[in-house]
Amino acid sequence: NLKIELPVRSLSNVYFDEKNGLIQMGDKTSQRYYLNVAHTKKFMQTLLVAAECKKIMDQKVTTSIRDLYYALKRTIPQTKENTFEDQSESDPIIEDVEAMLNTLREKLHLKADRKGYMAGKVVLHDSGDRINCSKMGSSGWAIPSDVEEEVIKFDDVKADYVLVVEKDAVWQRLNEDKFWKKQKCIIITGKGQPARGARRLVNRLHKEFHLPVYVLADADVWGYYIYSVIKQGSINLSFLSDRLGTPDAKYVGLTTQDVPKFGIPQNVTIKLNKGD
């Protein structure tokens, strides 16, 4: 009875490492058995993803996680079952393979869509092309999903700190006003919840150039959550916290305590809902 052993990526196998200030994954593992009816489909999906990654690595090409899903989706012969129903099934399997092999999906030649922008006095090489992030116009440099040293090499960084901005609209205003030039900083936005590429980029700038990191987010639970993910990592990607988390990051901006402290009118506040 063939089996695949995987790290458990649920809350039951996650803990907060107070020494490092990061959410970390524990040592628990689980098994997927080929001959267990409850496991068979995920067993098949895991092998399909692993085999496709092996194929594109052998071909020395890359593909997106979206294209991987389309490449693997098909109806199993003589059944009405599909290998994958939608991408929400294939993405977690990719993460399982990452965790199982203790690697990044980019090392498996997989990438996600670009999400987030950066502006500032940073000169870098992106796959060999020289990019000056202070001369990218109103849009800034679009952050790719793979910002590892093999792909993104920093040539010159002239900044006193990194400012991570939750809202794209706020980032656009700061970029338009050349805030990064006046304040000698780097401004980054993840356009809401930052993708892995943006978080890894912040992590690298902090570690490699010892730049302080500040997070400007909304004064609500989602703003605080985004800050916490940048600072200490996430439960879902706890196996990557050392690469994605920046424990020294500090929160800047309005807090809920500031509402009564500064007499902010109640008519500009928004009540919490059940999701909050």
Read off the pLDDT of residues 40-87 as tens digits, 9 standing for 90 and up: 999 999 999 999 999 999 999 999 999 999 999 999 999 999 999 999
* Positive or negative: CA dihedral 109, 112, 113, 118: negative
Distances in whole angstroms, Cα of residue 266 to Cα of each of 15, 256, 270, 271: 38, 12, 8, 10
Number of Cβ atoms within 10 Å of the Cβ of 268: 7
Q: Are strands 117-119 and 29-33 parallel, antiparallel or unpaired?
A: unpaired
Residue 140: pLDDT band (50, 70, 90) is very high
Write down the pLDDT at residue 59. 96
Whole-angstrom Cα distance, residue 219 to residue 44?
44
- Average pLDDT score over the chain: 94
Whole-angstrom Cα distance, residue 175 to residue 48?
43
Read off the pLDDT of residues 227-255 as tens digits, 9 standing for 90 and up: 999 999 999 899 999 999 999 999 998 88
- Segment 206-232 shows an average pLDDT of 95
Write down the pLDDT at residue 98. 94
Per the CB < 8 A criterion, the answer to whether 48 and 41 are in contact is no
Based on C-alpha coordinates, what's the Rg of the chain? 21
Is 70 assigned a catalytic role? yes
pTM: 0.88
Write down the pLDDT at residue 32. 94
Per the CB < 8 A criterion, the answer to whether 200 and 243 are in contact is yes
Domains and CATH numbers, the chain: 3-111 (1.10.10.10), 117-261 (3.40.1360.10)
Read off the pLDDT of residues 170-192 as tens digits, 9 standing for 90 and up: 999 999 999 999 999 999 999 99
Among candidate residues 70, 117, 214, 224, the one labeled active-site is 70
- Segment 21-29 shows an average pLDDT of 95
